[in-house]
Amino acid sequence: MKEVKSQASKSPGPGKQGGLNAEIQSRIGHQLRAMYDDVVRQGVPDRFAELIRKLDTPEGGAGGDITAKPDGRK
Amino acid sequence: MPLTDSLRDDILASVPSLRAFAISLSGNGDRADDLVQETLLRALANIDSFQPGSNLPAWLFTILRNLFRSDYRKRRREVEDADGSYAKTLKTQPAQNAHLEFEEFRAALDKLPQDQREALILVGASGFSYEDAAAICGCAVGTIKSRVNRARSKLSALLYVDGADDFGPDDTVRAVIGGSGG
């Protein structure tokens, strides 16, 4: 009967994260990016495209007052 | 630098990732969009202080992050509606199982200290280098590295160790394993 040798160093690459195994790490990375990319894929909502267009007044318009209240929220 | 057309386009192109960052930080879609709006207004108002040729996304992320920080201090998370409103921002609802897993992940992410959460998101999702992330957060590169590492360990503990029952052998498998001796 042949016994399969246990592969002690099975995990790909040296585990640089102490106790964290590579599979869990990649799972976390995948979840994180899935969550993030889901929003990225939504593109630019009209609200923001409009905002930037509106503020694009060639000098003298908005005057760049940082205290200006963002309005038009509704 | 003045607001040129191409700069305006670049700012617009950063909006999707700014939103993703804001939602990841705040866990709340509506609030995230308010943050993005305020970020854009500040950026445009201070466009003169942007150095041409430097990293525009990093500059915008820095503004958003600082706004979130001051906002956070003010509000202290009075509303804990992470799951509900976040889920609403998704275009496609994941299938039930995936959705559950997703919510668990989201909840675990919310349990991280803010420093660690933002570091992990910047490096692990936004794709910034450790150096850029350090610049955005105003800290040393080594600090970012250690925050990211701690965030990963903590997430892994929350999701895959505490919840070992979810991922380990299920009851059937366990019965088979444990029952062999009879």
Each residue's pLDDT tens digit, B19-42:
999 999 988 888 899 999 999 999
Half-sphere exposure of B54 (CA within 13 A, CB side): 14
Residues B5 and B15: their CA atoms lie apart, in Å, by 16
Query: For chain B, what percent of residues have pLDDT higher than 90?
Result: 57
Chain B CB within 8 Å of residue A27 CB: yes
Unique residue bearing structure tokens 């525009």: B56
Q: What is the pLDDT averaged over residues B103-112?
A: 91
Q: What is the pLDDT averaged over residues B129-147?
A: 98
User: Contact at 8 Å (CB) between B50 and B1?
Assistant: yes
CA of A44 vs chain B CAs: smallest distance (Å)? 6
Q: What is the pLDDT averaged over residues B54-81?
A: 80
Using pLDDT thresholds of 50, 70 and 90, give the confidence band for residue B181: very low
pTM: 0.71
Q: What ipTM does the predicted assembly reach? A: 0.74
Are B160 and A27 a contacting pair at CB < 8 A?
yes
Q: What is the pLDDT averaged over residues B12-24?
A: 95
- Within 8 A by CB and 6+ apart from A32, the residues are B105, B109, B120, B121, B124, B125
- A-interface mutation test, from B105, B111, B146, most A Cβ less than 10 A away: B105
Q: Residue A45: left (phi > 0), alpha (psi -120 to 50), or beta?
A: beta
Q: Is the pLDDT of residue A11 over 50?
A: no
One-letter amino acid identity for B173?
V
User: Contact at 8 Å (CB) between B36 and A68?
Assistant: no
One-letter amino acid identity for B9?
D
Residues B116 and B123: their CA atoms lie apart, in Å, by 11
Residues B67 and B19: their CA atoms lie apart, in Å, by 13
Most confident of A58-72, B28-42, B87-101, B138-152: B138-152
Q: Is the pLDDT of residue B97 over 80?
A: no
Mean pLDDT of chain A: 67
User: Contact at 8 Å (CB) between B32 and B22?
Assistant: yes
Chain A CB within 8 Å of residue B35 CB: no
Residues of A in contact with B153 (CB under 8 A): 17-20
